């Protein structure tokens, strides 16, 4: 199995023994509801199930002081009154006679998962634990957190498995200051956190949660804080944060292990702190589906980041640009804003049961209901990936659950489409076209999620033309075509906003319209990653396609790991609906790698990070400047000064100077 699920029912034992509105939201049902929903969705059965073990006190000592561990050990024999008194010495914490056992299980679950991944038993996994950990510090409990589960897991991976680069991503709505403090001077651990901040008015009310806190000493640049200063951030804001901050830095850092501190209190339907069990359990299920390789739902809503989000992104990029080459390659030089921290009145947390909480809960429940409707309307398809090749090479190795398609479209349909191009009348081209159309029909009809098909080289461009026209005339409302190599956009294809044409390996950087973009193929790893993250994906998410076509045409020059990364990342914008067209002469290795990433496996590594060439950087800067007025996902800062020039929405336009 590819995914582990680590859990132990004893972690539900600790509970609040006295009245405390602030702490009552951290309750055993947060685990039991999530586990029950995993079983209802059939996800637990698809995972390798591991029972959590207790972490040893030596393992706890990788992060916590002996005195603190001893103090927690002593809580097992305290009375309720003594537990309440001790809890009052910390911020938003309660202790129970079972807390020490539960907290050791939570740490042990994380360590078991690290062992399972790093020994190759699984590819990834989820440790379903409580109490949480990211606020806990060396000698202090904080914010429901007793031991710092993720921090101990990182230290353990370094000590036991000899790792040198670990990325921690913390997406909880609250800043994980405990993790930051533990690793702020350690360049072997890159800590990224986005969190609600509100200029310092949101818990934990810390100056060091702002964007200009970048680490200390040798660890400068290895703490990356993205503070949200406005509530109500949506899909566009989070995607922009991924594309313009987290992913560029992560690719440059090249981690050997990624640990996620997965708090779900910023999810739709959860007004405060994991209180809404339905939202929490749905979020856990969606994460497990992603780990299993299931395609994610297409994102809903307008893909235009809030101005406040762009200001935050600009601030963190400005603070981090001196430390990361990848951020300097993406274009505009950001201006470092002064700290946004304010000592003015702090906002009071919303208490469960109060009128503000009930109003927020009602609004969140409505949003969650809409999301659940999407889940019912977009069930997981029976065939995730199909391969339609005219001649299957014996060297081609496919995952067992990838369908080897044998059928073809009806001859009458195939010949009708072939009449559009003389090159398609030849026997080999006609046979290949029939297989392509059969696979495409399966995707458009909802029987297949993604696929790979091959065409003879002389028929590559005509076949792509037919696929575009067939898609737009039979159900695809918006079609993204990423053409790599010597493939020209069909001359009479309407520029009506239903198709977005993006050519990689064009002769020059050009944007004749907002729906026609051409960029040279970058030669270096850093240049290619910047092109994908700063241009291709912002356009793709902004366009919100129903289907993505990736055409690797003649002389595409794309190495297999880069092609796999491109196909893998393009699964996101269209809910996994990706069709890859290959030349029949492509290697079996390339077809096999593409099949695996479309099936949900991680793409192979790109190798050492290397800087983009000045020419590639200039091309990227030029295109972003031309397009960002129309495509808001390209923006990395709030607008300043006068209006930018706007592109034509039809034919015409401009290209970069020679």
Give me the pLDDT at residue 506, please.
73
Most confident of 70-84, 495-509, 625-639: 70-84
Are 355 and 492 part of one and the same domain?
no
Q: Are 455 and 582 in contact (CB under 8 A)?
A: yes
Give the whole-angstrom CA distance, residue 81 versus residue 98: 15
Give me the pLDDT at residue 550, please.
98
For residue 15, is pLDDT > 60? yes
Query: Mean pLDDT in the chain?
Result: 90
Given the DSSP bridges, would you call strands 166-170 and 578-583 parallel, antiparallel or unpaired? unpaired
Q: What are phi and psi of 486, to 5 degrees?
A: -85, 75
Give the whole-angstrom CA distance, residue 131 versus residue 144: 7
What average pLDDT does this structure show over 588-611?
Answer: 93
Q: List the beta bridge partners of residue 551.
A: 483, 581
Q: Which of 364, 379, 394 is the last residue of a domain?
A: 379
- Give the chain's domain count: 3
Are 142 and 168 part of one and the same domain?
no
Which segment of 240-244, 307-311, 405-409 scores lowest on mean pLDDT? Answer: 405-409
Are 580 and 487 part of one and the same domain?
yes
- Tens-digit pLDDT profile for residues 510-550: 999 999 999 999 999 999 999 999 999 999 999 999 999 99
Model confidence at 33, pLDDT cuts 50, 70, 90, reads very high
Count the alpha carbons within 13 Å of 197 in the hemisphere toward its beta carbon: 28
- Tens-digit pLDDT profile for residues 436-487: 999 999 999 999 999 999 999 899 999 999 999 999 999 899 999 999 999 9
Q: Which of 141, 162, 183 is the last residue of a domain?
A: 162
Q: CA end-to-end span of the chain, whole Å?
A: 53
Q: Which of 135, 195, 244, 276 is flagged as catalytic?
A: 135
Neighbours of 651 (CB within 10 A): 10
Are 631 and 546 part of one and the same domain?
yes
What letter does residue 376 receive in the DSSP assignment?
H
For residue 351, is pLDDT > 70? no
Which sign, positive or negative, has the C-alpha torsion 584, 587, 590, 595? positive
Are 404 and 492 part of one and the same domain?
yes
- Tens-digit pLDDT profile for residues 36-50: 999 999 999 999 999
Give me the pLDDT at residue 397, please.
84
- pLDDT: is 324 or 266 the higher one? 324
Domain CATH code at residue 43 = 3.40.800.20
Biggest distance spanned by C-alpha atoms of the chain: 87
Are 249 and 395 part of one and the same domain?
no
Collapse the DSSP code of 127 into the 3-class scheme (helix H, G, I; strand E, B; otherwise coil) and give the result: strand
Model confidence at 358, pLDDT cuts 50, 70, 90, reads low
The helix (H) or strand (E) run that includes residue 591 is: helix 588-598
Give me the pLDDT at residue 353, please.
46
Model confidence at 374, pLDDT cuts 50, 70, 90, reads low
Are 150 and 222 part of one and the same domain?
no
- Tens-digit pLDDT profile for residues 236-282: 999 999 999 999 999 999 999 999 999 988 775 554 544 588 889 99
- Tens-digit pLDDT profile for residues 556-597: 999 999 999 999 999 999 999 999 999 887 888 899 999 999
Model confidence at 656, pLDDT cuts 50, 70, 90, reads very low
- Tens-digit pLDDT profile for residues 200-210: 999 999 999 99
Are 531 and 633 part of one and the same domain?
yes
Q: What are 334-338's contacts with CB under 8 Å, separation 24+?
A: 334/636, 334/637, 336/212, 337/311
Helices of type H across 445-587: 460-473, 525-531, 537-543, 560-569
Give me the pLDDT at residue 316, please.
98
For residue 640, is pLDDT > 80? no
- Tens-digit pLDDT profile for residues 115-159: 999 999 999 999 999 999 999 999 999 999 999 999 999 999 999
Are 304 and 396 part of one and the same domain?
no
- Tens-digit pLDDT profile for residues 78-127: 999 999 999 999 999 999 999 999 999 999 999 999 999 999 999 999 99
Are 156 and 205 part of one and the same domain?
no
Are 340 and 404 part of one and the same domain?
no
Q: Which of 111, 142, 162 is the last residue of a domain?
A: 162
Give me the pLDDT at residue 347, please.
46
For residue 386, is pLDDT > 60? yes
Give me the pLDDT at residue 16, please.
98
* Residue percentage of the chain with pLDDT more than 90: 79
Give me the pLDDT at residue 171, please.
95
Domain that holds residue 143: 1-162
Q: Are 226 and 194 in contact (CB under 8 A)?
A: yes
Give the whole-angstrom CA distance, residue 264 versus residue 174: 10
Annotated catalytic, 161? no
Are 182 and 139 part of one and the same domain?
no
């Amino acid at each position: 199995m590819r995914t582990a699920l680590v859990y132990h029912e004893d972690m539900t034992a600790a509970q609040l023994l006295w009245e405390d509105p602030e702490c009552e939201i951290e309750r055993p049902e947060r685990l039991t509801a999530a586990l029950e929903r995993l079983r209802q969705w059939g996800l637990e059965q698809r995972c390798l199930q591991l029972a959590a073990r207790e972490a040893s006190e030596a393992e706890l000592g990788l992060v916590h002081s002996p005195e603190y561990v001893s103090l927690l050990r002593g809580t097992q024999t305290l009375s309720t009154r003594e537990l309440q008194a001790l809890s009052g010495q910390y911020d938003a914490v309660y202790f129970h006679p079972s807390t020490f056992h539960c907290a050791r299980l939570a740490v042990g679950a994380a360590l078991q998962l690290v062992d399972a991944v790093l020994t190759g038993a699984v590819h990834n996994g989820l440790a379903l634990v409580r109490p949480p950990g990211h606020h806990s510090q060396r000698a202090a409990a904080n914010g429901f957190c007793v031991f710092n589960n993720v921090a101990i897991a990182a230290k353990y991976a370094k000590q036991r498995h000899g790792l040198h680069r670990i990325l921690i991503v913390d997406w909880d709505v609250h800043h994980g200051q405990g993790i930051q403090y533990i690793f702020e001077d350690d360049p072997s651990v890159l800590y990224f956190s986005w969190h609600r901040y509100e200029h310092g008015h949101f818990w934990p009310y810390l100056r060091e949660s702002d964007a200009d806190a970048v680490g200390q000493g040798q660890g400068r640049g290895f703490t990356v804080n993205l503070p949200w200063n406005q509530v109500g951030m949506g899909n566009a804001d989070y995607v922009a944060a991924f594309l313009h901050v987290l992913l560029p830095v992560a690719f440059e850092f090249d981690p050997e292990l990624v640990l996620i501190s997965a708090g779900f209190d910023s999810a739709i339907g959860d007004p405060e702190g994991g209180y809404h069990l339905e939202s929490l359990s749905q979020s856990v299920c969606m994460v497990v589906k992603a780990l299993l390789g299931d395609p994610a739902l297409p994102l809903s809503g307008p893909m235009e980041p809030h101005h406040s989000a762009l200001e935050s992104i600009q601030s963190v990029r400005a603070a981090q640009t001196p430390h990361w080459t990848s951020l300097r390659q993406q274009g505009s030089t950001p201006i470092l804003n002064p700290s946004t921290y304010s000592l003015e009145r702090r906002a009071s947390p919303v208490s469960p049961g109060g009128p503000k909480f009930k109003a927020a809960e009602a609004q969140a429940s409505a949003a969650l209901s809409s999301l659940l409707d999407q889940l019912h309307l977009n069930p997981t398809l029976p065939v995730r990936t199909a391969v339609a090749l005219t001649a299957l090479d014996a060297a081609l190795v496919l995952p067992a659950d990838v369908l080897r398609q044998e059928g073809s479209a009806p001859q009458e349909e195939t010949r009708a489409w072939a009449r559009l191009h003389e090159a398609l009348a030849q026997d080999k081209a006609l046979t290949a076209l029939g297989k392509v159309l059969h696979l495409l029909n399966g995707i458009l009809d909802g029987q297949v999620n993604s696929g790979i098909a091959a065409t003879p080289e002389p028929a590559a461009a005509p076949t792509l033309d037919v696929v575009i026209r067939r898609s737009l005339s039979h159900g695809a409302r918006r079609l993204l075509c990423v053409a790599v190599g010597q493939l020209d956009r069909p001359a009479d294809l309407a520029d009506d906003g239903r198709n977005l044409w993006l050519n990689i390996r064009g002769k020059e950087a050009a944007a004749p319209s907002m729906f026609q973009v051409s960029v040279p193929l970058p030669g270096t790893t850093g240049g290619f990653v910047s092109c994908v993250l700063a241009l291709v994906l912002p356009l793709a998410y902004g366009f919100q396609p129903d289907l993505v076509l990736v055409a690797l045409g003649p002389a595409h020059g794309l190495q297999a790991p880069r092609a796999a990364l491109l196909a893998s990342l393009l699964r996101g914008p269209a809910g996994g609906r990706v069709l890859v067209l290959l030349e029949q002469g492509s290697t079996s290795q390339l077809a096999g790698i593409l099949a695996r990433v479309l099936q949900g496996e991680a793409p192979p590594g790109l190798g050492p990070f290397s800087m983009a060439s000045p020419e590639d950087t200039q091309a990227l800067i030029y295109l972003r400047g031309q397009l960002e007025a129309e495509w808001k996902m390209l923006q990395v800062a709030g607008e300043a000064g006068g209006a930018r020039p706007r592109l034509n929405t039809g034919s015409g336009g401009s290209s970069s100077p020679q």
